[in-house]
Structures are given as C-alpha cells and as structure tokens.
Amino acid sequence: MRLLWLRLLPIYTGDREEDKVSVRVRFAPSPTGQIHIGNIRTAVFNWLFARSQGGKFLLRVEDTDQERSSEEFEEIILKELRWLGLDIDEGIGGGGEYGPYRQTHRLKIYKKYAEELQEKGCVFPCFCSPDEFEKEKNPEHSYNDPCRDLSPDKVEELRNKGVPEALRFRSPRQGKVSFLDSVHGEIAFQSQVIDDFALMKSTGYPTYNFACVVDDHLMKISHVLRGEDHISNTPKQILIYEAMGWQPPVFAHLPLILDKKRRRLKKRSGQQEAFLSSYRNAGYLPETVFNYLALLGWSPGEDKEIMSREEMVEKFSLEKINESGAVFDIEKIKWMNGVYLRNLERKEFRERALAFLSGQGLDTENEKLIFLMEALQEKVNTLKELAQKISEYFEPLAFPDPEDARQVLQQDGVEKVLSSLKAKVGEVDDLNPDRAANLLKEIIKELQVGGKLVYKPVRYALTGKGTGADLSAIMAYLGPENIRMRIDETFKFLKGDAHE
RNA sequence: GCCCCCAUCGUCUAGUGGACUAGGACACUGGCCUUUCACGCCGGCGGCAGGGGUUCAAAUCCCCUUGGGGGUGCCA
C-alpha cells in the first residue's frame, strides 16, 4: 500500500515547471526474439506517459547478449511499434543527439566509465570462470566473491597468465539502499543482501545493469518505467548512480502481466498468446491491443473502458497505475476487438478486412465476398474469425447437426417453400441482398405462409446450419446457381441419402 | 534458503476513514427485440484472504498470519 504523503512528495516530478517539459522515457528491449506482450505493454505505458507529459519517447536497443541478440529482431521491434502506433521521437528509428542508441555501438563509453569506477575503487576485477563463481556462491551470503579482496600481486599474476577478467561492483556491506518508486512508494534493501554484481563481462561487453545506468544517465532519461521484475536490479543500479555521482531517474515499476495460472506470462511457456504478433495474425486491431494493454495495470479511475488514444493520453498518470499483477484475459480482449470492429465505418471495415482476408488465402477478387463480409461485421470478434466464417461458405453443403436440420426442414409446407425459391432464383441471373430479401417476402405472400416456414428452413437448406450471417447476404453471396444446387442437395438429404 | 513486491466478484477493475446495501466491464445466465442470424437493451449470479489493533466510524490506516508472484546470471 502506498502512503499518501509518498504520492504527493514532489521529489523529482511535478514541482518544477521544467520537469514537465524534460520528461524523457525510453523503451529498451533486447532484440532476442518475438516481441512479448509484457514488453510491449511497458512500451505502451512509456509512450502514454511521454505523450501525456509532452515528453520524449526513445527507443534504445539493448543487444549486449551476444548469444541471443540478432538484427532481424530489431526489425521486428520497429515493425511492432509502428503497428501499434507508438511513434518514436528519438533513438533507433528516430535519430537524436544522444546516440548511438544501440548498446554494442557504445562499448567505448562503457569502458570509459568502468575505468572511472576503477579509479574510484568502487569495483574490482574478478577472475573466476562463470562456473567457478557459481560454485563459490553461498546461498546465505551472496556477496561472498572470492576475488573481492585479491592482493595487487595476485591480480598482477592472474593478469599475466591471461585469465579472463570481469569487473564487479564492490557492494557495501552495511547500511541500506532505498528509493522512492512512483508506483510502490518507498522500497528499501539492506546493502548486505546486494551481491558483488558484474559490471563488465570478460568479453568486454557491459552487463545489463551497468549499460542501463550509463545510457539512462547519458541519454537524460527522467523516468524509468519498467516491469516489476526489475525491482531487485534497482538497488544495484542506484549504487552505480551513487558511485558515479549521478542523479538517478524516477523509477516506476509496473505490475507484471500474468497467465491464467497467475504466473508471469512469458515466452518460455510456449504460449503463442505471449507474443504481440499472435494478435496481429489473429486479426486483432492495433487500437484494440493498445486499449486493452493500457487497461492492464492502469485505470483512468472511472468506468469507461473503450477509449481513444487521445483520451488515454489525456487521462494517463503514474498515480493511477496499479500495484498488483494482472491476468491477461483473452476473452476480454476478444470482446473488445469485437467492439472496435463493429464501431468501424462500413468502408473502413471493408478495407481493413479485405487486407487481412487476402493474407488468409481467400479469394478477395470475388466481389460478392463483400456481401458476406458486411453481414458478418457485427458477428465476429476477430478478423481471423471472419475469415473462418467466410470460408465455411466455400465448403460444400453439409449438415453437422442432422437431427436439428430435419426437424426444421420436415415441417409441413417447407418443401413447397424451397421449390418456390428454386423456381424464383431460376428466373434471375444475379442477386444482391435486397433482391434476395424481396424474394423471400414474395414467397411468404404468394404461398400465404408465416416467416417461420421460410427463414430458418431456407437457412438450413442453404447452409446446413441454424446460425450464421444474415440470410439475404448469404443468398446474394451464393448466387442463383448455387442456391438451386443446394436446394436439390437438401431434398436428397431429406430423402435419407448422404450428407451426414 | 535469503531478499523484494502484492492481496476487492472466476478475470480486469472503481474505491485514498463516513456518500458502500462495495460500483463498472468480460465471462456465465434469465428475458425482451427481430417471422432468419446477430447486434442491442433490461435483469440475475458472484467479491473486500484470515486474525488482531487504531478510530465514534475501516474495503480504506497499523501489525501478524496465510496465500500468490518476482528476484537471487559475466540474461535483459
């Protein structure tokens, strides 16, 4: 629970006018794979904060993991940000005067500051091999690094032997490190539990904690909004800021996004739903994803949920960020996407749906597809669902639930209705939804039957099912030829052969 | 093990000591509308983890317990 006074304390924010205009936040992913939902949510919050404060949103690539980083993933990051509409003011894909913005291009910089820390005596070389260090680690005292107090002679000796050396921070063994988190209030760690973490790897690459601090400082980052999993890194980073004599940024640790089991939603769980790309591929609109993600861990403080980007920017504030983890609810985002889809203007829906459909191997040249598409607009939650529903009408007639179908089709008078329909469509060479609807009305009038004997039975006869798109749209889509064929097939089915 | 964070319907959340008979949304469910299918609308179900304090008054403040999560890398 946060204390009120902490919320109001104007430590770094809000008290001075210039603070407001100097807000600079960054999204700093590592290019090691498909972009993750949790990651992109962090980006969304950073972007929202920057825009709400009139600040800058930067993109920095943290590619210091030589094993896993790859340039192709950098492209993916850019593409995903663009898709979601998170425009970059500075950094990779945005230019700017504090570059380079790719950490592997900043190696000299880290080296320089590492040397500075060495001169200050805040660090020490470590000659342990990674495995060795693992063994030496004592679960009770994680700071227990065997190289911490090596004599200068010993250091000299090991260096001469060419033993690979890393650089570690000499963590204080008493006192405490604390900081004021904008989401959680004060967070404090006893210094003795902070181990002698590495700053530079033996490869000459910086570690995350070191590079991050150097870059955030040099790039004048004012607020660090990142996942809660970074809380335990924060005291280490603060120690570096202090050693360098730098002012740390404001930290805001965002609650984690959880899966149904309340575990952190992560790539390794293998769930496709952990990736942003899955949502694009499943036909979610970017505005839906943005809206839904913004609401995971943040609330404007009122009942409104469907909001425009502008509204969210206007209402966003660090104070309204929640402190507890949030389960990602696939049902809810599905519903939300349905709302966005239904709210689309006819024309826009058509364009966007067509663009998606053509990527799904559907024949978008067929202009009759439009009839179905529009009839389905209000019935689907995703464009993928739209594609699936449309494809069903490409398939040959089948009766998945023959019992039901028979019950409807065997009512007295239905046969007459179907025959009449068959005859009527025989007289026209094309159909549109209006004409189709009129045809059915004519039948009702001429045969003096109720709609009950027409709509549902015709639906079954033409589609084999009891639910689906608007009937006249289906008829227009199928066209006279297919309608006649399907009615014949239905008659066969009723006589007992085939189609089960 | 140690450190840190968190705790309101199944899920996302509103709630900053009295306006709470705890509000909204998803899901589920009953109905209305539509002579098809939906959309939509109206209703229902369902929650302050437990225990102690503080206070005239606690979902709200404090403590403990329990539960959940995260971290504990020369990953980020």
- Which mean pLDDT values do the consecutive 10-residue runs of chain A (500 residues) have? 35 45 92 94 98 97 92 94 97 91 97 96 89 55 71 90 93 94 96 94 96 98 98 98 97 96 75 87 97 97 94 96 96 97 95 93 84 93 95 88 88 92 90 91 90 92 91 93 94 72
Residue positions counted in chain A: 500
Which protein residue lies nearest to nucleotide B11, measured between its Cα and the C1' atom?
A329
Query: Which of the nucleotides lies closest to A208 (Cα–C1')?
Result: B76
Instruction: Give the nucleotide at minimum CA-to-C1' distance from A378.
Output: B39
CB A48 within 8 A of CB A312: yes
Find which nucleotide's C1' atom is closest to A193's CA.
B3
Rounded, the Å distance between the CA of A324 and C1' of B69 is: 9
Neighbours of A140 (CB within 10 A): 6
Q: Please give the nucleotide, over all strands, whose C1' is closest to the CA of residue A457.
A: B36
CA of A185, C1' of B66: distance in angstroms? 24
pLDDT for the residue numbered A467: 87
pLDDT at position A1: 34
CA–CA dist A174, A186 (Å, integer)? 19
Strands A123-126 and A166-169: antiparallel
* Predicted pLDDT of residue A454: 93
Per-residue model confidence (pLDDT) at position A132:
63
Distance CA A18, CA A9 (A): 17
Measured CA A234 to C1' B13 distance, in angstroms: 28
Question: Smallest Cα–C1' distance to nucleotide B72: which residue has it?
Answer: A142
Q: pLDDT tens digit string along A176-202?
A: 999 999 999 999 999 999 999 999 999
* CA atoms of A17 and A23, how far apart (whole Å): 11
Q: Establish whether the linkage from the previous residue to A100 is cis, with ω within 30° of 0.
A: yes
Q: What is the pLDDT of residue A395?
A: 87
A5 CA vs B62 C1’ separation (Å): 16
The one-letter amino acid code at A189 reads F
Distance A256 CA to B49 C1' (A): 21
- Asked about A267 being catalytic, the answer comes back as yes
Tell me the torsion sign for CA atoms A395, A400, A404, A406: positive
Please, which residues have CB within 8 angstroms of residue A48's CB and are 6 or more apart in sequence? A294, A312, A313, A316
Q: Could you identify the residue whose CA is nearest to the C1' atom of nucleotide B13? A: A299
By C-alpha distance, which of A20, A102, A11 is closest to A56?
A20
For the CA of A213 and the C1' of B63, the distance in angstroms is 37
What pLDDT sits at residue A177?
A: 96
| E strand intervals along A152-258 | 166-169, 176-181, 185-190, 198-200, 223-227, 250-254, 257-258
pLDDT number for residue A131:
67
Our measurement of CA A209 to C1' B72, in angstroms, reads 15
For nucleotide B5, the protein residue with its alpha carbon nearest to C1' is: A228
d(CA A347, CA A328): 32
Q: Which nucleotides of B are covered by protein (CB under 7 A)?
A: 1-8, 10-17, 23-27, 35-40, 60-62, 68-76
ipTM, two decimals: 0.96
User: What distance lies between CA A462 and its chain's CA centroid?
Assistant: 40
Active-site residue among A20, A79, A111, A267?
A267
**A12 CB contacts (<8 Å, ≥6 apart)?**
A19, A222, A249, A250
Rg from Cα positions in chain A? 32
Count of Cβ atoms closer than 10 Å to residue A448 Cβ: 7
Strand nucleotide closest to residue A194 (CA to C1'): B3
Please give the protein residue whose CA is closest to the C1' of the nucleotide B36.
Answer: A455
How many Å apart are CA A249 and CA A255, to the nearest integer?
19
Question: Are A206 and A110 contacting, i.e. CB atoms less than 8 angstroms apart?
Answer: yes
Distance A312 CA to B4 C1' (A): 31
**Which nucleotide lies at the shortest CA–C1' distance from A63?**
B76
Name residues whose C-beta falls within 8 Å of residue A274's C-beta, 6 or more positions apart in sequence. A36, A37, A38, A265, A266, A267
DSSP string, A329-364: -HHHHHHHHHHHHHHS-HHHHHHHHHHHHHTTT--T
> Whose CA is nearest the C1' atom of nucleotide B1?
A139
